Amino acid sequence: MVEMGAEEAILTPGKTYPHGARRSLENWSRVALNVLLPLVGVLFALLVGAVLLLILRANPLAAYAALLRGAAGTRFGITQTLVKATPLLLVGLGICIAFRANVINIGGEGQIIAGALMATWWPLTFHAWPGWLLIPATLIVGFLAGAAWGFIPGILKARLNVNEILSTIMLNAIALQLMNLLLQGPLMDPAGVAARTFLAQSAQLPPAVWLPRLVPRTLLHAGAILALVLAVAVYIFLWRTTIGYDIRAVGLNPDAARYAGIAVPTFQALSLTLAGGFAGLAGVVEVIGVQHRLLEGLTSGYGFTGIVAALLGSLHPIGLIPASILFGGLLVGADTMQRAVQVPSALIDAILGLVVLFVSGSALWSRRWAARRSVRSQKSGEAEA
């Protein structure tokens, strides 16, 4: 994936630059490339979506105005956007760590479920604990559950060289079936069993474990602040610690990292484990922050959308913050747009899919452009020498 700052700058041919000025121009072009390309991808996706709206005889301007109004036009819309952005940010942080180590985590959905299952069982079992102890304990065990679900493909990758894409996708299906089994059995709401409704949901969690609301009469909870703090922590981890340096070295060049004495399989397994832990946290905050019980459909596709949000944020924890808010706004505003212009829900999914396609394409183009610039720079240096 694109290394933040890995691209070479476009400098004016034939002009001589002092070393410091050349470095400054290179840095500015790196930032511009990583920020502008994903945004251009989103713009093209919306343009293609406008064509689809015209085909369905809907007004694109009215549709996108409704989307913007639904996401940011009211207090409810703004808070709901932040609520949706919170699990996306947490999942995306894990994606940033995994992709920096050159491994791909497609198992966010299963890891979210693993964290949500633990975030349900733990408070129901230890419901007598006070909130100041129960909330952090639930967050920790949920993180560990997601990390354990990410450790499985990590150790398979490290020891047996099993493709992590296949293993994480299969673990998604296993986690989903495990949740369905538990919701039809041990975790089913006893009140529903007594009333013979047999709804696939757990009992309501004790209020002591509910995350505090940041804005009264909304769903915006303290998990949003936790996600922001963790974004800064992941940035410090990746760019200011030895382990983070080793992870990024493995991702940039596994052969060179191995030659330097870095245990490449170990750090790849660690990256998938941490990615699973952050996805597990996303499941925890959804359970104890929004739903207050375990329900079917809890993940809402966050495991896959978080990957695109990470790409839009250039795989950088800080860049991921506005990217998650943008995708949270798209998810919230899409419902308003559907009601306003009366288009099928499939079109909303298609527009979101176009965003995925174009953002991913911009990342691919950026990598190829960086590789060409690197070769040209190397040839230029040899010629000067």
Which residue reads 């949901």 in tokens? Answer: 201
pLDDT top residue among 152 and 6: 152
Q: Domain total for the chain?
A: 1
Asked if the structure places residue 188 within a domain, the reply is yes
pLDDT at 332 over 80: yes
Question: Residue type for 42, please?
Answer: V
Where is pLDDT greater, at 288 or 366?
A: 288
Among residues 220, 270, 206, the alpha carbon closest in space to that of 85 is found at 220
Is residue 38 included in any domain, yes or no? Answer: no
pLDDT band at 374 (very low <50, low <70, confident <90, very high): low
Which tokens hold the place of 365?
């183009």
Q: Is residue 253 in a domain?
A: yes
Least reliable range by pLDDT among 14-18, 244-248, 251-255, 311-315: 14-18
Structural domain boundaries, residue 249: 46-384
Separation between Cα atoms, residue 30 and residue 102, nearest integer Å = 20
Considering the domain boundaries, does residue 343 fall inside one? yes
Q: What CATH number corresponds to the domain at position 308?
A: 1.10.3470
pLDDT score of 231 more than 80? yes
Q: Calculate mean pLDDT across residues 339-368.
A: 77
Q: Does residue 34 fall inside a structural domain?
A: no
Q: Give domain status of residue 40, yes or no.
A: no
Q: What is the pLDDT of residues 16-74, one digit of tens each?
A: 445 555 555 555 566 566 667 777 888 888 899 899 889 988 889 998 999 899 999 89
**Domain annotation covers residue 262:** yes
Stretch 249-276: mean pLDDT, rounded? 94
Instruction: Note the pLDDT of residue 24.
Output: 54
The model's pTM: 0.87
- The pLDDT confidence band at residue 142, using thresholds 50, 70 and 90, is very high
- Which pLDDT tens digit goes with each residue over 286-307? 999 999 999 988 888 899 989 9
Which pLDDT value is given to residue 22?
53
Kindly report the average pLDDT of the chain as a whole number: 87
- Condensed to tens digits (0 to 9), the pLDDT of residues 154-174 reads 999 999 999 999 999 999 999
Mean pLDDT over 112-119 rounds to 97
pLDDT for 14 beyond 60: no
Residue 13 reports pLDDT greater than 60? no
Tens of pLDDT, residue by residue over 86-107, are 999 999 999 999 999 999 999 9
What is the arithmetic mean of pLDDT over 144-150? 97
pLDDT of residue 342: 84
pLDDT class of 202 with cuts at 50, 70, 90: very high
Q: Kindly state whether residue 174 falls inside one of the protein's structural domains.
A: yes
Q: What band does 9 get if pLDDT is binned at 50, 70 and 90?
A: very low
